[in-house]
Amino acid sequence: MSSPDDTQPTISRTDDGSPTLHSARFDQHYHNPKGALSESRHVFWEHARLPKRLTQADTPISIFEVGLGSGLNLFMLLNEIRALKKAGSKIPSSIQYTAVEAFPIPLNTAFQLGFDEVFEHINTKDVEQIFSDLHPGLHTISFDKELQVHLWAGLFDEFVPPEIILPFTTIWQDAFSPDANPDLWTDDVFRKLKRWSAPEVIMTTYCAAVRARAAMCVSGWHVARAEGALFKREMTVAALDESLLSDYKRVNEKRYAQRWADGEFQ
Ligand SMILES: C[S@@+](CC[C@H](N)C(=O)[O-])C[C@H]1O[C@@H](n2cnc3c(N)ncnc32)[C@H](O)[C@@H]1O
Amino acid at the residue 171: I
Substitution site in 40, 100, 119 for ligand 1 pocket (most atoms within 8 Å of beta carbon): 100
With a 6 A CB cut-off, is 11 part of the ligand 1 pocket?
no
Q: Could you tell me if 65 and 43 are in contact, meaning their C-beta atoms sit under 8 angstroms apart?
A: no
**Please, are residues 63 and 172 in contact by the beta-carbon 8 Å criterion?**
yes
Mutate to test the pocket of ligand 1, among 30, 39, 186 (most ligand atoms within 8 A of CB): 30
Task: Report whether residue 207 contacts ligand 1, using a CB cutoff of 6 Å.
Answer: no
Using alpha carbons, select from 200, 202, 179 the residue that is nearest to residue 248.
202
pTM: 0.96
Per DSSP, 244 falls in state G
CA of 6: how far to CAs of 14, 63, 195, in Å? 21, 32, 37
- The whole-number pLDDT of residue 7 equals 75
* Closest Cα to atom 2 of ligand 1: 30
Exposure string (b/e) for 14-24, b if CB count within 10 Å is 16 or more? beeebbbbebe
Q: Rg of the chain over CA atoms, in angstroms?
A: 18
Is 54 within 8 Å of 82 (Cβ atoms)?
Answer: no
List of E strands, 85-165 = 95-101, 137-143, 147-153
Residue 61: strand pairing partners: 95
Kindly report the average pLDDT of the chain as a whole number. 93
Ligand 1 pocket, residue 155 CB under 6 Å: yes
Q: How far is CA 72 from CA 38, 43, 170, 183, in A?
A: 11, 13, 16, 22
Q: What is the pLDDT along the chain (266 residues), one digit of tens a residue?
A: 344 556 789 998 998 889 999 999 999 999 988 899 999 999 999 999 999 999 886 788 999 999 999 999 999 999 999 999 999 998 998 899 999 999 999 999 999 999 999 999 999 999 999 999 899 999 999 988 889 999 999 999 999 999 989 999 999 999 999 999 999 999 999 999 999 999 999 999 999 999 999 999 999 999 999 998 877 789 999 999 999 999 999 999 999 999 999 999 98
pLDDT for 6 equals 65
Nearest to 70 by CA among 122, 125, 30, 12: 30
What is the C-alpha to C-alpha distance for residues 57 and 159, in angstroms, rounded to an integer?
A: 29
Give the model's pLDDT for residue 8: 86
Instruction: Check if 184 has its Cβ closer than 6 Å to any atom of ligand 1.
Output: yes
User: Tens of pLDDT along 159-182?
Assistant: 999 998 999 999 999 999 999 999
The atom of ligand 1 lying closest to the CA of 156 is 20
The stretches of the chain forming alpha helices (DSSP H) are: 36-40, 50-53, 72-86, 107-112, 115-118, 124-131, 187-195, 210-218, 253-261
If one residue of 10, 103, 122, 157 were mutated to test the ligand 1 pocket, choosing by the most ligand atoms within 8 A of its CB, it would be 103
